[in-house]
A and B are shown apart, each in its own frame.
Chain A
Amino acid sequence: MSGKRYVAAGVAAGAVPLAVLLVFFVVPLAGMLERGFVVDGRLDLGPALSTLGRSRVLGALWFTLWSATVATALTLLLGVPTAYALHRLAVPGRRVLRAVVTVPFVLPTVVVGVAFRTLLAPSGPLGFLGLDGTPTAIVAALVFFNVSIVVRTLGPWWDSLDPRRAQAAAALGASPLQVLRTVTLPAMLPPVLSAASVVFLFCATAFGVVLTLGGVRYSTVETEIYLLTTQFLDLPAAAALSVLQLVVVVGLLTVSGRARRHREQPLDRLRTTRARRATRSDLLVLGVTTLTVLLVLAPVAALVARSFQADGEWSTAHYRALGDADAGSGAAVPVTTALANSLRVAVDATVLALALGVVVAVLVTRRATRPSARRALALFDAAFMLPLGVSAVTIGFGFLVALDEPPLDLRGSPWLVPVAQAMVALPLVVRALVPVLRSVDDRQRQAAASLGAGPFRVLATIDLPVAWRPVLAAAGFAFAVSLGEFGATSFLARPTTPTLPVLIYDLIGRPGGDAFGAALAASVLLGAVTVAVTAAVERLRVPGVGAF
């Protein structure tokens, strides 16, 4: 009897995130699609369909798939060994390095674009490579942005993985390669696929990077939608492309979901593991890690170097001006005020993303006995990935056209920005938690339940001990996502409280004065705050569960 009650409670808990998804994603998207497909009250797919036949659109689709696939593969190649080295090996300074690889994720794309071009332009230090305005530059920047996703989703997972299985295999005479093939890789695949699908979605919807580094010669589905919506107001064409995006995303999620589910298995978990000393067999891993750190640091170094230059000389002028309202930069508010706005919004967004994310992750990892229930859970799981794969422009404009009548007239509400950012962070939280919770042997939960533990007690004693670390890591990540979010934020009508990325974007486009220097200094500040916050969050411990 109680089983039914728990199912009812589960459905009720799941209704909350679903309602949020419905209001903040489905309704706006439907609103824009309706504008595109319905002409004079009748469904007219003609203009939309003819869009899909344009060679330009086919080219954009091809380039999107190509660049996202290549970038995802490279991101995994760099990210997986880096996550291993920074979480399992006793690498000196690994805590700092873990925070450092998170920095790219929050840097505004316009700023990163300039930093990359400073390096790659024919006159720059890496100009001899001839990469300026090439697809290679675009892919490099995509890897730069996304490598932190891989490190931060896989790292905490590795933290709590019991190494004794691998040790046992080795003790039984398996070579390191055999251990990798028979023990480590099978265990790793689900979280790697999880991270890969998130990275792919981020790459496929990247916008600023493609524009800046491609020298506008390369268009993706996302840049086309941007152009069609904000410049031409060609809604049928934009709607057609949004549907195309949706189809690609759903296809990807189906494939990766299926691949994951076949491979998920219970794993032994430890509350804490000790990092081991690196040996000679780790040379390759350490080499790749060095490469990752270099890739991350080079553009960041270029950025920092330029932020300390004024009038052709080394100077801290840009930093000293950060607290001023408009010290020649014309900023609407001082950078410090924008930073405070950003932090406030990020707290709201993180709390929201975590609360919703934990609910979603817990629900989708419960064991369902009936196939129909299993399918429902799989759909529920995939639904929260969709916002990552659909254009921020479409959703942003969708807010305007769809949410314009009470009780849903949320335009201009102070909640809009934190909610939008939480929708971006939510999939990351879910993807970080699901593999961990799935790897808990369900028999442990059943045993606890049969001993009389209620569902919350089961969560607290069985799931929490292995999940708290990933939960904290996810919180740090959600915070970082919110701090750096620009795409969705910039398309939402918002009151006088710009976040730091919005202010930086505004500053960097201003022709004259010290605006450019101020934008760079503000970006460095944003990066520094991110390092501090993510490093601090990692140091937090949940008392009684994870204390050493």
Chain B
Amino acid sequence: MKLRTTALLGTTALLAVAGCSVTGGSEDDSATDDTTVTLLTHDSFALPDELLAEFEEHSGLTLEVVRSGDAGSLTNQLVLSKDEPVGDAVFGIDNTFASRAVDAGVLAEHVPDELPGSAADHALDGDGADRLTPVDWGDVCVNVDDTWFRENDVPAPKTLDDLTEPAYRDLFVTPAPNSSSPGFAFLLATIGEYGEDGWQEYWQRLVDNGVRVVAGWTDAYEVDFTAGGGGGDRPIVLSYNSSPPFTIPEGGKRPTTSALLDTCFRQVEYAGVLEGADNPEGAQEVVDFLVSPEVQAALPDSMYVFPVDDSVELPPLWAKWAEPAPAPVEVDPEAISEHREEWLREWSDVTS
């Protein structure tokens, strides 16, 4: 007994000292040299390993991907560490945070030579156009559970206004704008639709009609939504235009949910070269890589977003069932940057 426990203890100690340790395993080569390029990005960044390996082989660079926080957290970290940036390139600043990053001067000028023509549709206006390269986009839209509406013999809603009708009382659930990025996108959709002075009244009507506000998208979709797998009680949920294909039942042909395309706000994600980067040439190569046809084609399956390059082929289910909003609601990025805090405070006042 004693012998065995001693052995066990010995093994544990050995494990600790030798192999099972961060510092034992890797030499610290984070020193700045021309062959390493560091990409700062948010937590949701994902691309197939083969693509990243291919990039390293082609360029002769070692690509280090550093993730931290969400788009807001990422942008603010860049602003705070402006004088001594932690990386060379950034991916994941979205159109709601873009002007803050541009105005703070954290980005250097760079436009990829082979930027797909269709990317122009998503480009920023003014100064930002030369500094942030659009990489992907997605529409945040209200989704409905078609099965529920058919079974209950109620016509599904179509517009933002419909959501305040008595027929849809206590049926809608959305993540909050102050804790969720799609939640904020929905707030922007209502601001774009009803104007900077009218949205508060719309939200009051939503509240009066029994909207449920939860913390995050996951909560809304996986707990409260009737078609989300959690057996919820709300058949209308805020989600994405790419959500319906995921609700095609096993052996079925059609999704059981659909996105309401008149309720969408378009989120665009950008990449750029950081001002003061140790390896600016490497950073430019990374940005160019992100808009290359290979990466663009991999975006839907890796990050659930649409490529800005409309010439690449979408996965079949996306091509068939994930419809882009024909005319998404727009809000000027400058205005978002300027009023974010004010709008969120007003929103809190209206809903609490």
Contacts and interface: CB of A to CB of B under 8 A. Distances in A.
A186 interface: no
> What DSSP secondary structure best describes chain B's contact surface?
mixed
Which of A123, A415, A493: most chain B CB closer than 10 A? A493
B229 interface: yes
A490 B69 contact: yes
A411 B81 CA distance: 11
Nearest to A312: B229
A287 interface: no
Contacts of B233: 121-123
B83 interface: yes
Interface in A184-235: 211-212, 214-217, 227, 229-234
A508 B232 contact: no
A35 B6 CA distance: 52
Contacts of A418: 22
Interface stretch (A243-251, A440-448, A509-517, A524-532): A509-517
A414 B66 contact: no
A493 B49 CA distance: 20
Contacts of B212: 215
Contact of B178 (A227, A343, A494, A505): A227
Given A344-B22, A404-B83, A491-B68, A215 B215 contact: yes
A410 B240 CA distance: 38
Interface stretch (B71-79, B151-159, B186-194, B197-205): B71-79
A341 to B, nearest CB: 9
Contacts of A17: none
Interface stretch (B23-31, B53-61, B161-169, B283-291): B23-31
Interface stretch (B114-122, B128-136, B216-224, B306-314): B216-224
Given A509-B218, A510-B304, A311 B250 contact: yes
Which 9 pairs from chain A and chain B are nearest by CB?
Answer: A123-B233, A404-B84, A216-B176, A512-B246, A230-B73, A400-B81, A212-B215, A332-B46, A493-B68
Given A230-B73, A233-B100, A332-B45, A496 B83 contact: no
A218 B303 CA distance: 32
A163 interface: no
B230 A231 contact: no
B302 A326 contact: yes
B249 to A, nearest CB: 7
A492 B179 CA distance: 19
A469 interface: no
B49 to A, nearest CB: 7
A330 interface: yes
Given A118-B223, A412-B66, A543-B2, A229 B76 contact: yes
A304 interface: no
A509 B209 CA distance: 27
A233 B64 contact: no
A2 interface: no
A215 B68 CA distance: 25
A330 B9 contact: no
A493 B77 contact: yes
Contacts of A118: 223, 230
Contact of B76 (A230, A330, A492): A230
Interface stretch (B12-20, B105-113, B323-331): B12-20
Contacts of A330: 46, 301-304
Nearest to B249: A311
A345 interface: yes
Among B12, B65, B217, B219, chain A packs the most CB atoms within 10 A around the CB of B219
B223 to A, nearest CB: 5
B37 interface: no
Contact of B81 (A122, A234, A404, A541): A404
B222 to A, nearest CB: 5
Contact of B38 (A133, A311, A412): A412
Given A216-B178, A512-B242, A35 B80 contact: yes
Contacts of A505: 43
Contact of B44 (A414, A417, A509): A509
A347 interface: yes
15 contacts: A123-B224, A123-B231, A212-B214, A212-B216, A217-B352, A230-B76, A232-B341, A233-B80, A347-B21, A348-B21, A412-B86, A418-B22, A495-B64, A512-B242, A548-B1
Nearest to B30: A412
B267 to A, nearest CB: 12
A117 interface: yes
B43 A490 contact: yes
A326 B46 contact: yes
B16 A351 contact: yes
Given A230-B69, A412-B38, A492-B68, A511 B243 contact: yes
Interface string A490-506: 11111110100010011
A409 B278 CA distance: 15
Given A230-B72, A233-B79, A415-B23, A511 B304 contact: yes
B5 A541 contact: yes
Contact of A495 (B20, B25, B65, B216): B65
Nearest to B138: A511
A498 to B, nearest CB: 7
Contacts of B100: 233
Given A215-B214, A401-B81, A491 B73 contact: yes
Contact of A540 (B9, B80, B222): B9
B313 to A, nearest CB: 19
B224 A309 contact: no
A306 interface: yes
B67 interface: yes
Interface core residue of B16, B38, B214, B352 (most chain A CB under 10 Å): B214
Contacts of A411: 81, 86
Contact of A516 (B40, B69, B179, B229): B229
B229 A511 contact: no
A543 B6 contact: yes
B232 A123 contact: yes
A484 interface: no
Contact of A331 (B20, B22, B46, B231): B46
Contacts of B302: 326, 330
A471 interface: no
A414 B68 contact: no
A405 B83 CA distance: 10
Given A227-B344, A331-B46, A400-B86, 4 more contacts: A123-B232, A409-B84, A491-B73, A506-B43
